[in-house]
Structures are given as C-alpha cells and as structure tokens.
C-alpha cells in the first residue's frame, strides 16, 4: 500500500515537514539492521482521536531497545507525549503510528558505538491491512517455506528491524503463491506466528494460541484478545499448535496492530470451519473494535485520548484504505 503523506514528522524532538524527514545514506541501521520500532493505531471515537494501548506500545519499544543494547534518549512519558503531539500537529483523527529508534550517521562497521541514536515518529492514514473483505470473510493463508527465526539466533521479543527480513520473505512467498498471508512454523515444526501477526485457533469451543516460547512476538493485540476472551468466559489455553491442529481448527484468525482481528478461512487449501468468520472470532473481533473505538467503558483504560478524556472538537477526518 502506498503511503499517504501527512504534514509533519516528529524527529529527534522536533516536528519537521514530511518531505524533509531524511537520513544520510551511511546511516548505521540502514546497513546493519540494528533498530527497533513499533506499530500503533489511533482510532476515531466520540471523544476525539484515541491511541490504542499507547503506553504499552512505547514500553515495548523501550524493552526492544534494551534487549538489543540501544539507549533511547527519551523516556516513555516523553515518547507518549510526542506521539500525541504528532497526531495533533497533523490534524488527523484516525491513523497508523510508526515510532522508530535507530543508529544514525557516525561510524561504519559492526560496532555502532559512535553513532547517535535517532528517534522518529510518523503518522499517516492507513486502512485495513489485509482488506475490508478479509475482516468479514477471512483471508487465505499458507504455511511458509521459511521458518521463524530461532530465539537462539535473534531475540523474537525485540521488534527489531533485522528480524523483519524473515517476515518479508514469508509475506512474498505467500503472495507469490496467490495467498493473502503466511503462517510461519518454528524450528520444532510448531506454529509460531504470521509475518506480522499472532495466530489463534478455536477447537471445541476453546481458544488456543502458541506460547511466546514458540517464537511469537508478545503482541499487544494478542494480549487484548486474551483478556477479552477471559472476560467473556471463553475457555483459553496457551499451548504449542501442530500443523495438524491448525488444519483441523474450527476457526482461526490473525491478530496484530496492522491486521487487527482478521479471520482465516483457508490454510494451504484446507478450509477452516465453514470457510468464513466463525462465531467466537466474530464475537472477539466485534468487542475488540468496540473497545478500540471507545464504545465499551470496560476497556476505556486501553485508550489514550489525544485531547484528553473529555475530548475536543475533532479535526477533519483523513482516511485511507488498502
């Protein structure tokens, strides 16, 4: 999906024009991949724009940086404030948010010491990642020929730039096969996750998802769905999922900031359930969107209102679609 430019990007403490948010071609992370980032969404609500679980996302960014030895020059509170400042400055009610911390221009070589740590935050309108139709009818997935990176090779709990080469290969593999998305297995042959999503299945009324030890990122949408399921008294188990269990699922779906809650209707030609969004998937999806759009008081603590809890007059909505 092509980017839709907005007006300003926050970069190293300043708002600068979108078209001037550039880096040197010898930026360290551009060559070696040692950078960390987040994907966050802001939703339009009756109280104005609200960022979904903003503090949790920024804390995960901080944790990713610590895991790979990057010293962030800003605190969590400062970055939370910067995200809201960037949304306000761009007068946008609904958007995708990309904070990134990376080693900039300074040295060349594997040791990044001597390169500054730069931080940027961009926001732009972005629709449904796997398509509006996919949210309702489900998407077609395939088991990737690529395995998820083993935790002994790179840290899966860091949202690390370098890790996403693995995800890109899996995504392209799926698209080249005529599918919408991939599912990666780990080196033990169990389900790990999608290229940028966690995976859930339903069997005999029980909700299952792989444990983090399977190589899955500790997804914030994943955590939200688990908590919603528990609130609804849906039986839930975190366990390794075999390929046979995946094929035999009655329901399956992806979760992620980009994918939100997207049903899976087919995997490797195996129709999942009735080949459409299942009952439990639909119930969880509906509650998730209700929470994200401020329709459910029970989950209002997950929202960080850009103009405060009372809200202010909304700006003109800027929307985009896949």
Question: Looking at the annotation, which residues are catalytic?
Answer: 159
Could you say which DSSP state residue 158 is in?
S
CA dihedral 249→254→260→262, nearest 10 degrees, is -50
Question: Is the Cβ–Cβ distance between 288 and 261 less than 8 Å?
Answer: yes
Which has the closest alpha carbon to 193: 169, 213, 174, 210?
210
Query: Could you tell me where the DSSP H helices lie in 34-74?
Result: 54-68
- Torsion sign, CA atoms 52, 54, 55, 56: positive
Crossing angle between the packed helical segments 279-292 and 220-231, to the nearest 10 degrees: 110
> Which residues share a beta bridge with 208?
201, 237
Could you give phi then psi for residue 208, rounded to 5 degrees? Answer: -125, 145
SS3 236: strand
């Amino acid at each position: 999906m092509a980017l839709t430019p907005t007006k300003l990007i926050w970069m190293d403490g300043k708002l600068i024009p979108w078209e001037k948010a550039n880096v040197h071609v010898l930026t360290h992370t551009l060559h070696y991949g040692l950078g960390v980032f987040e994907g966050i969404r802001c939703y339009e609500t009756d109280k104005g724009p609200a960022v979904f679980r903003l503090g949790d996302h920024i804390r995960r960014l901080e944790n990713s940086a610590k895991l790979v030895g990057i010293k962030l020059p800003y605190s969590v509170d400062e970055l939370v404030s910067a995200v809201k400042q960037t949304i306000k400055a761009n007068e946008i009610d609904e958007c995708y948010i990309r904070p990134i911390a990376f080693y900039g221009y300074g040295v060349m070589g594997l040791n990044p010491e001597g390169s500054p740590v730069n931080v940027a935050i961009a926001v732009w309108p972005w629709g449904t990642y796997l398509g509006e139709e996919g949210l309702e009818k489900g998407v077609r997935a395939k088991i990737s020929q690529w395995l998820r990176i083993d935790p002994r090779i790179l840290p899966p709990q860091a949202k690390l730039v370098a890790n996403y080469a693995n995800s890109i290969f899996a995504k392209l593999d799926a698209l080249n096969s005529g599918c919408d998305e991939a599912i990666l297995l780990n080196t033990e042959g169990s389900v790990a996750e999608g290229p940028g999503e966690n995976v859930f299945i339903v069997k005999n009324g029980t909700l299952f998802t792989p444990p983090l030890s399977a190589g899955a990122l500790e997804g914030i949408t994943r955590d939200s769905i688990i908590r919603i399921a528990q609130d609804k008294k849906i039986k839930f188990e975190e366990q390794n999922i075999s390929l046979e269990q995946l094929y035999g699922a009655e329901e399956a779906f992806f979760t992620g900031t980009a994918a939100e809650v997207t049903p899976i209707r087919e995997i490797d030609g195996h129709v999942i359930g009735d080949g459409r969004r299942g009952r439990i998937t639909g119930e969880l999806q509906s509650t998730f969107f209700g929470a994200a759009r401020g329709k459910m008081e029970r989950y209002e603590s997950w929202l960080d209102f850009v103009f405060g809890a009372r809200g202010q007059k909304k700006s003109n909505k800027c929307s985009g679609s896949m």
